[in-house]
Amino acid sequence: MKTRFFTLVALALALVACNNDNENLNGDPVAARFTADIAPATRASGTTWTAGDRIGITDIGYDSQYGNVPFILKNGKFEAEGKVIYIEDTKAHTFRAYYPYNAAGGILAATTDATAQQNQSAIDFLFATGATGDKKSPVVSFTDKTGKGGEDNSFHHRMSRITLTFEAGDGVDFSVVKPERYTLGGLLLTGTFNTADGIATADNGAQTGELAMNLADGVLTSSIILFPQTVASLPLVVNYKSQEYHATLTMPEGALQAGNNYTYTVKVNATGLTLEGCTIGSWADGGGESGAAEDLGYIYDSNTNTYTVYNADGLLAWNKAIQKDESINCTLTADIDLTGREWTRLDTWPGYSGVFNGQGHRITGLNFSAARFGLFLFLNQSGVIKNLQLIDVNLDGSSGGSAGMVDRNHGQIIACSVTGKLTVHSGGIANANYGDIIACWFNGTLKDESGCGTIVRFNYKNITSCYWGGNAGLGVLRNEGGTVVATKVDGATVKWQTAVDGMNTALTAGDYQWALGTDGLPVLQKKQ
């Protein structure tokens, strides 16, 4: 068999005399010579068998004598490869067959890893059964006879197939560079094929793994053959221009069914992957149901170790990732609403060491209690949070304290703001500052006014050109020897426009600056 894979086949097996045209006149045994016809348009990449194809035939009920007998395609006909099958009596005989032939027969172990996908014919298990013949009617037809009121005795694919077609979406041009490869995770890649009943079974005791497939230059459609298995969804990663684009393939009926081909059109957009849906059907006739894929909300660039995030799912994915790697950068390309979503604060020492760049965007809906206040517990000396606005937070630190950005800053917090409500022992930006806080502001409510600092509670290093409004009277509760330039916006002598001007003076080296928004509070804008 060639390395391409095929759709449903119909095989006609003819039993003919080995000696002459009058084989039944004398009651002699009839030797079986097998020929095969392929039904039109039943295979994805061809309608004919290939010379050298081998199938295993079993005479059911006489398998001790004629079990797993190999036949090979020569000159367009299947010929016995050594042993000959005879019909020696007047009874009707029922046959089964499978492809590809294996001398051991029985239950065959196989894997569907990337190496196996290079020779898909070896894992494209086919099975046919129920076709009958006898001496008087020595034609055994492995075909679909349902159109004539009979049975479907044709060969059927016993594995599952996923076909992905990649298209260029918004902001992407495939005319110059095409996707390099893709990876599907969460798959059971090993299993067995039973040549006696045609059932392919995934090894449910095995650990799931990834299947990484390279895309040849110019090829935008790729198919993989897999063991049928129960799986609700599969994570998809597409590599394009050295960046990773993530999505999730949703499996209709929560499983990969035997004989079905699941076809997805994957659009690679500048902001992530979208999927047109899933068309499900047998490899023979196609059609069927539709499905969808979930956009994960981020693009990961392995070269820069950066998540580019454009929705809440993407931000939470990054939040999960940094629990294992505190250095992963995050860049926002859209405002994020976390209302009703769970945030897990990074609590490991020495803290977050990447760069979180909000690019002027806002995060709303940050609402959590003492155990999880602040984006991070610690910001490392090399860590940076910049160009980010937290809007209408509700942070309850009743059992310890709360802070908008971080509990303890050793890095840099630049051009950030927090609005909302903080409860008990609060710092609007940070609780303790051992690093630099530059051109930041807070406006909101601090419940425990006497024990709070609207910028920080305790300062040990530098606070530069920061401002605050709201009910609290102190920008810093206690300065422990650091430098503090922080001013209250009282609405009379100091207004928010004053704050905008003062903060922008300190942001000459940055790519964002403050401007007065329509609500009278500062907003971030990219420098022109």
Q: CATH assignment of 305-310+321-526?
A: 2.160.20.110
Backbone angles phi, psi at 289, to 5 degrees: -85, 175
Q: Would you kindly state where each structural domain of the chain is located, as residue ranges?
A: 11-157, 160-299, 305-310+321-526
Q: Sorting pLDDT into bands at 50, 70 and 90, what band is 51?
A: confident
Give the span between the Cα atoms of 372 and 338, in whole angstroms.
14
By the 8 A CB rule, do 272 and 296 touch?
Answer: yes
Instruction: For the chain, count helices (H), then strands (E).
Output: 4, 45
Spatial strand order of the sheet with 156-157 comes to: 34-35, 77-80, 69-74, 54-60, 93-99, 126-133, 156-157
- Partner residues linked to 279 by β-bridges: 263
Q: Sorting pLDDT into bands at 50, 70 and 90, what band is 261?
A: confident
Average pLDDT over residues 444-469: 84
Q: Given a cut of 90, is residue 19 above it in pLDDT? A: no
How far is CA 329 from each of CA 119, 359, 360, rounded to the nearest angstrom?
40, 13, 16
Q: What pTM was computed for the model? A: 0.56
Share in percent of the chain as helix, strand, coil (round to 5):
10, 50, 45
Closest C-alpha to 387, from 417, 342, 421 = 417
Alpha helical stretches, state H, 54-126: 63-66, 114-117
By the 8 A CB rule, do 345 and 374 touch?
Answer: yes
3-class secondary structure, 369: coil
Q: Does 11-157 match 305-310+321-526 in CATH topology?
A: no
pLDDT tens string 374-421: 678 899 999 999 999 999 887 765 555 567 888 899 999 999 999 887
Answer yes or no: CATH 2.60.40.2630 is held by domain 160-299. Answer: yes
Give the span between the Cα atoms of 5 and 123, in whole angstroms.
9
Lowest mean pLDDT among 23-37, 307-321, 323-337, 514-528: 23-37
Per-residue model confidence (pLDDT) at position 27: 61
Backbone angles phi, psi at 14, to 5 degrees: -110, 130
Higher pLDDT, 13 or 260: 260
Per-residue model confidence (pLDDT) at position 422: 75
Closest C-alpha to 158, from 1, 8, 3 = 8
Q: Between vectors from CA 133 to CA 197 and to CA 15, what angle results, nearest 5°?
A: 105
Give the span between the Cα atoms of 40 and 450, in whole angstroms.
84
Give the span between the Cα atoms of 514 and 39, in whole angstroms.
70
Span 11-157 CATH architecture? Sandwich (2.60)
